[in-house]
Amino acid sequence: MHTKSLDPADLYKPCDPKSLRFKTTASLSSLNGILGQNRAKDALSFAIAMAESGYNIFAVGSSGLGKRTMIERYLAEHSPGSGKLSDWCYVNSFEDPRVPRVLRLPVGMGQKLKSDVEQLLNRLYKNIPQAFENESYFERSEKLKNELAQRQEKALSTIGRSARRQGVSLTIATPGGYRLVAADGDEPMSAEVFSALSDEEQLAIEAKIVKLEKRLRKTLRQLASREQDYAERQQQLNEEVALNVSQHLIDSVKQTYREHKEVVDHLDAIQQDILKNIDLFLDDSEEANALAAATMDNKLPRRYQINAFVHHDKNESVPILVEDNPNYHNLFGAVENITFKGTVFTDFTLIRPGSVHRANGGYLLIDAVKLLEQPFVWEALKRLMRSGKIGIHALEKEISISGTISLEPETIPADLKIILFGDRDTYLLLQRYDPDFIELFKVVADFETEIDRTEETQLQYARFIAGLIKEKGLLNCDRAAVMKIIEQSAREAAHQNKLSLHAADVANLLREANYCAQRAEHNIIGLDDVKQALSNARYRAGRIRDQVFEGIRDGATMLSTRGATVGQVNALSVLTTGDQEFGVTSRLTATTYFGDGSIVDIERDVKLAGAIHSKGMMILKAYLSTLFAQDGPIPLSTSLTFEQSYHEVDGDSASMAEFCALISAMSGMPVRQDLAITGSMNQFGDAQPIGGVNEKIEGFFDTCRLQGLTGTQGVIIPRQNARNLMLADEVLAACRAGKFHIYAVDRVEHVLELLLSDTSVPGYEEVYERVRNRIARMREIEKAHVEPASASPI
């Protein structure tokens, strides 16, 4: 059997210019909606339609797909109207200030209520002091005060006259302080004079004083009662004046909100509280001004203000929020504190909303990994979704490190969809370890990484590129540039008939091509600009690659691309350096010797091999046993290794190369060094496809080019990988010129025929026969060594 090299037309699938009938992207309309992703769109549509709880969304897909942007656009186009939106205001609870009340208002009314109440307070702050400075108020207040003073003076004067008649002097010091002593005429009797009196006279005076004291205390109690009566009458006067000033102003605001009972009730509560706290409007102290400055607020009485907690414009659409920093306070809000004169202070006006409050009635998008990195956030989010209520709780209480008294605002009904986006590993971890996850996130939006490449999708891709150009303000692309970007997308998808949906990669390529075009003073992005952008990106990320090939150039890495050697095969692998992947060639060698049929995998024995590599070796051994161990064990041991490899090896893409190296070592037939091979095999000897085929081919081509192209060099790949070929321009040019070849095979026997084609052996059967003959000879040798010696006669 003779395997022919693939036709150069099979190594790259270019865009057909006829499928893209435009000159530049300026003539293309932007793509509306999402490119591809029908499965994800169905999931989003279903979740939007489901009003029941638990139908939140987890968007699964690799980084760079543009999941967030696509979801935002889809929700903006397909979300229902803003009928579920409300404005939410926190107000003071005069009965229990620690539990601020929440008012639910129609859209646009929250901010208006705040403004209306501020205007009301401004008017009261101006009018109430004026009313209390009015001459009429002073007259009525003085009248009450004079009546009290007259009653006090009359009562005390009566007692004073009675005391003088009895020879006792009454002295009033401060209110409530008095002194009764014996009198000597009109003056209090001195202690010396009183001591000179007889005992009978002293006792008589003391008895009079005791009676007068009882009478005085009774009178003072009556005066205290009259003072309380005066205070109540003064308060009634103050309330009357304040009511006359405030009632019509408050009634005017109540009339505006007459259809909203909660607002009217709160305005009534404000009216009642104002009458009890009139001093708030009369006190213009420096302390009040300092407090207002500390809270970055005006100096209006804070207890009556409205905290427009969440408010919307009347024409506002459904909120679609992205929380990039989902810590506890950013998500769930907080009650802020201020320090005033060394004291921590807070009230309902310092309640601040979080993302869940602002997104209520709409959608909140969060990166799942960022969310899970924040302490206490995941449990709090689940609690919100289970309870259907949004509360504001101090984080200090969540972790129980503080007993500080704080507010406990009323909760708000939760009516929003939570959309998490992350990779599949994160989704599977949550699904496995959190039993609540499936109940709370019942919808999975699974984003594809690629789309079928057809004439229709290529045109859609061109419109997608046009949309990115308009969105990011870049130069337009001509048709050749768009074709190259589409072909590069197929290469990134690693399939001739697929296109990558990694929007971030396309956007980055467009930005860099735009930079190249501007630097070259082009007014449009052309093919050369795109090629230059790709070349620049490879160069920037190519330091390690250049070091690897420098080792090949100077001979430090020992590789052969000419001649033939027994037990030595050029195997291919892919090295990843973070932002670039490139193919490298490794010398794979095998040796055989008399033994028990074991295969010594040096990489595995020194723990430099992964589980998949070990699996490939076991499959290889199974196929060898199928071929050569039907009549007994193989009396040969073999040793395999990747020469000059000092890092971990994983994957089974070298299993066909390992098989060929072993067969060469066992048969003694040399292997062509101008061919390299990649591909895995199954237990029946069939070639199986592998990844990174373009990078592997290009890596061996670069190795051959360094050592000189001979015209016979090439790479052997599984036939299924032919559809993945989108090779670089220089490789294509060499293949078209007949200087490099790509062979596609179905079985390992086809590989043997290619690798041994420079020998006199006609086919793989002859190779297998040589192996069987050697095994037979080894078995005879083994049998001769283990036969017992003949018994000698006695």
Q: HSE of 433 in the Cβ direction (CA atoms, 13 Å)? A: 7
Above pLDDT 90, what percent of the chain? 49
pLDDT of residue 172: 65
Confidence check: pLDDT of 101 > 50: yes
Q: Is 118 exposed, middle or buried (0-12, 13-18, 19+ CB in 10 A)?
A: middle
pLDDT of residue 195: 74
Confidence check: pLDDT of 157 > 80: no
List of residues 6+ apart from 640 with CB closer than 8 A: 588, 589, 590, 599, 600, 601, 602, 603, 617, 658, 661, 662
pLDDT of residue 23: 92
Nearest to 406 by CA among 94, 93, 92, 97: 97
pTM of the model: 0.80
DSSP secondary structure string, 107-138? TTHHHHHHHHHHHHHHHHHHHHHHHHTSHHHH
Strand pairing class (741-745; 714-718): parallel
For range 355-374, the mean pLDDT: 94
Above pLDDT 70, what percent of the chain? 89
pLDDT of residue 405: 65
* Residue 498, token pair as written in the block: 């697929």
Confidence check: pLDDT of 388 > 70: yes
pLDDT (tens digit per residue) in 760-790: 556 788 889 898 988 888 888 877 776 554 4
For range 172-196, the mean pLDDT: 66
For range 669-691, the mean pLDDT: 94
Q: Using pLDDT thresholds of 50, 70 and 90, give the confidence band for residue 656.
A: very high
pLDDT of residue 390: 93
Q: Interhelix angle for 109-132 vs 261-276, to 10°?
A: 20
List of residues 6+ apart from 279 with CB closer than 8 A: none
Confidence check: pLDDT of 330 > 80: yes
Residue 696 annotated in active site: yes
List of residues 6+ apart from 564 with CB closer than 8 A: 670, 671, 672, 673, 758, 759
pLDDT of residue 235: 73
Q: Using pLDDT thresholds of 50, 70 and 90, give the confidence band for residue 338.
A: confident
Contacts by residues 232-235 (CB-CB < 8 Å, ≥ 24 positions apart): 233/144, 234/141, 234/144
Confidence check: pLDDT of 442 > 70: yes
DSSP secondary structure string, 274-308? HHH-THHHH---HHHHHHHHHTTS-SS-GGG--EE
The sign of the CA dihedral 728, 733, 739, 744 is positive
* Residue 419, token pair as written in the block: 């959309």
Q: Which helix (H) or strand (E) segment is 681 a member of? A: strand 680-681
CA distances from 263 to 111, 116, 118 (A): 13, 12, 14
Q: Scanning the structure block, which residue is given the tokens 């590599």?
A: 613
Q: Using pLDDT thresholds of 50, 70 and 90, give the confidence band for residue 443.
A: very high
Q: pLDDT averaged over the chain?
A: 85
pLDDT of residue 647: 76
Q: Helices (DSSP H) in 708-790: which residue ranges?
A: 729-736, 748-755, 764-786
Strand pairing class (307-310; 320-323): unpaired
pLDDT of residue 790: 44
Contact assessment for residue 513 and residue 531, using Cβ atoms and an 8 Å cutoff: no
Q: Helices (DSSP H) in 190-285: which residue ranges?
A: 191-196, 199-256, 261-276, 279-282
Confidence check: pLDDT of 48 > 70: yes
pLDDT of residue 791: 42
- Catalytic residue, candidates 653, 655, 664, 667: 653
List of residues 6+ apart from 493 with CB closer than 8 A: 449, 450, 453, 499, 500
> Lowest mean pLDDT: which of 100-109, 205-214, 458-467, 489-498?
205-214
Vertex 127 angle, CA 126 and 133, to 5°: 105
Contact assessment for residue 342 and residue 334, using Cβ atoms and an 8 Å cutoff: no
Residue 126 annotated in active site: no
Q: Using pLDDT thresholds of 50, 70 and 90, give the confidence band for residue 434.
A: very high
For range 86-100, the mean pLDDT: 91
Contact assessment for residue 513 and residue 553, using Cβ atoms and an 8 Å cutoff: no
Nearest to 459 by CA among 772, 11, 17: 17
Phi, psi of 321 (to 5 degrees): -105, 145
Contact assessment for residue 655 and residue 617, using Cβ atoms and an 8 Å cutoff: yes
Higher-confidence position of 162 and 266: 266
Q: CA 602, CA 522: separation in Å to the nearest integer? A: 56
pLDDT (tens digit per residue) in 229-244: 777 777 777 777 778 8
Q: Using pLDDT thresholds of 50, 70 and 90, give the confidence band for residue 453.
A: very high
Higher-confidence position of 86 and 142: 86
In our burial notation (b when 16+ CB lie closer than 10 A, e otherwise), range 248-269 reads: ebbeebbeebeebeebbebbeb
Confidence check: pLDDT of 197 > 90: no
Contact assessment for residue 84 and residue 51, using Cβ atoms and an 8 Å cutoff: no
Vertex 35 angle, CA 30 and 41, to 5°: 125
Question: How many C-beta atoms surround the C-beta of residue 429 within 10 A?
Answer: 15
Q: Using pLDDT thresholds of 50, 70 and 90, give the confidence band for residue 296.
A: very low
DSSP tag of 362: S
What's 313-338 look like in SS3?
A: CCCCCCCEEEECCCCHHHHHCEECCE
Confidence check: pLDDT of 150 > 80: no
pLDDT (tens digit per residue) in 511-564: 999 999 999 999 999 999 999 999 999 999 889 999 999 999 998 999 999 999
pLDDT (tens digit per residue) in 737-762: 999 999 999 999 999 999 986 655 56
What are the beta bridge partners of residue 91? 101
pLDDT (tens digit per residue) in 551-599: 999 989 999 999 999 999 999 999 988 778 899 999 999 999 888 777 7
pLDDT of residue 794: 36
For range 672-697, the mean pLDDT: 94
Vertex 461 angle, CA 456 and 462, to 5°: 100
Contact assessment for residue 25 and residue 462, using Cβ atoms and an 8 Å cutoff: yes
Nearest to 266 by CA among 89, 124, 91, 109: 91
Q: CA 124, CA 303: separation in Å to the nearest integer? A: 14
